[in-house]
Amino acid sequence: MKSYINHAESGFNKRLLCTAIVSVLAMGHMANSHAGATFKIDDTKWVSVGLGLRSSFTATESAAANKDWSNNFALDNARLYFAGQLHKYLKVEFNTDAQTANNGGEVRILDAIGKFEYNNYANVWVGRMLVPGERREMNGPFYSGIYQTFGSGTPFEPADYSLTIKSDGTSAGSFGRDDGATIWGAAFSDRLQYAFGFFRGLRGGANSGDNPLYAQKISYNFWEVEKNPGYYTSGTYYGKGGDILTISGNNQYQTQGAGSTVNPGDFRGTGVDILMEKILPNKAVLTLEGDYKNYGISGNYHAIQNSTPPGVANFNMFSGQAYDVSGMYMFPQKVGIGLVQPYVRYVNINPTGSTNRNSYQTGINYVIDGHNAVVSLNYIYGDMVTKGLNYTTSATGNKESSLLLGFQWQI
């Protein structure tokens, strides 16, 4: 039986072994291909719980008030995951996150999914879930190979643009999630995997016609078949998934999906991504990952970005091209209790009507227990953070250096 809580950002992570107290509270977890145990209510019913935590320390050049290096501690994610099965074909998922953790922490709904899972070919999820998109989006931070996969990566898709879901023309979801439905499945011995969904997308503002957002993702596994919950992915399997070579294409479209009521635009976001992971003869693991994005918005998007009157809600989405490539090498010999995995990464963003921005990154992961226990140390140089989400002609920002030490635990 597949696990659906083993992707944390995707709303899933590993099963937590139930204690007697948890059993009394009817919160257990099912066995899966990764690990875990099962608390069964009867032959078809079960419930589960999981935990995920990511915390980091960052030092950034010239970011302090006196232009010295800043020193910041952050609680990046603190999550609870619940899942259950009430029928052979019917499951449910409910996950939370402290989405404003660094401002005291408000527990909010991350995923709330009702699932009808019939066979490998066709399954339906309804509720709040990840919008099908490019691989790094489907990996989420807990199942990516790089700690700050989003903060130093290619531009956000609409559902990831806002931290909270609003209906004032400034939000199309939250943390990559949106309210809607997804049909997903696989064919040809599971090598061809697909997901098609429709969602609310941009709420209000430019979307005066209340048009839905449509999302599609298709992948083909040339070597070993990737095994993940639903239509989600991983950025590395640390060699546990065999030799992987998967190419995917994705697309999102929404009429009146960007801009403002003054200058609405139809949004299209298209991408291609690839993952190759090879177990070398010396048992080391080489992982290569990359994605390319081509985002377009109909009409004069330069005008949408720069001439919106003050006080008018503007969904200022990225329009242009971007790519993100990374390479990782995990040594086969253990050092203490873990494996050492150095990596390099380059990201380039070329917005329409705005200045280019890029990021150079190098780091080392200390992999203790796969995605369940990782310590990451990395260095980044570039102007992506200083320019941020400003895609106007006036965008400016200096190149700066930053160091990050990140901790990821989940169970």
Q: Are 343 and 375 in contact (CB under 8 A)?
A: no
- Is the pLDDT at 211 greater than 90, yes or no? yes
Rounded mean pLDDT, 358-369: 97
pLDDT of 13 reads 37
pLDDT band for 274, please (50, 70, 90 cuts): very high
pLDDT of 33 reads 31
Could you give the percent of the chain with pLDDT greater than 70? 86
pLDDT band for 22, please (50, 70, 90 cuts): very low
- Is the pLDDT at 337 greater than 70, yes or no? yes
pLDDT of 16 reads 33
Q: Are 18 and 39 in contact (CB under 8 A)?
A: yes
Could you give the percent of the chain with pLDDT greater than 90? 66
Rounded mean pLDDT, 113-119: 95
pLDDT of 103 reads 66
Provide the mean pLDDT of the chain.
87
Burial of 119 (0-12, 13-18, 19+ CB in 10 A): exposed
- Is the pLDDT at 3 greater than 70, yes or no? no
Of all helices (H) and strands (E), which one includes residue 135? helix 135-139
Domain boundary assignment for the chain: 20-410
- Is the pLDDT at 2 greater than 60, yes or no? no
pLDDT of 150 reads 87
pLDDT band for 332, please (50, 70, 90 cuts): very high
If one compares 38 and 297, the residue with the highest pLDDT of the two is 297
25/390 Cα distance (integer angstroms): 48
pLDDT of 256 reads 95
- Is the pLDDT at 255 greater than 70, yes or no? yes
Structure pTM?
Answer: 0.87
- Is the pLDDT at 397 greater than 60, yes or no? yes
Q: Are 38 and 30 in contact (CB under 8 A)?
A: yes
Q: Are 295 and 138 in contact (CB under 8 A)?
A: no
DSSP 182-199: EEEEEETTTTEEEEEEEE
If one compares 280 and 80, the residue with the highest pLDDT of the two is 280
Torsional sign, CA 394, 349, 153, 228: positive
**CATH no. for 20-410:** 2.40.160.10
* Range from 11-25, 119-133, 170-184, 316-330 carrying the lowest mean pLDDT: 11-25
Rounded mean pLDDT, 175-200: 97
In 3D, which of 199, 212, 144 has the Cα closest to residue 374? 144
* Range from 8-17, 240-249, 264-273, 299-308 carrying the lowest mean pLDDT: 8-17
- Is the pLDDT at 20 greater than 50, yes or no? no
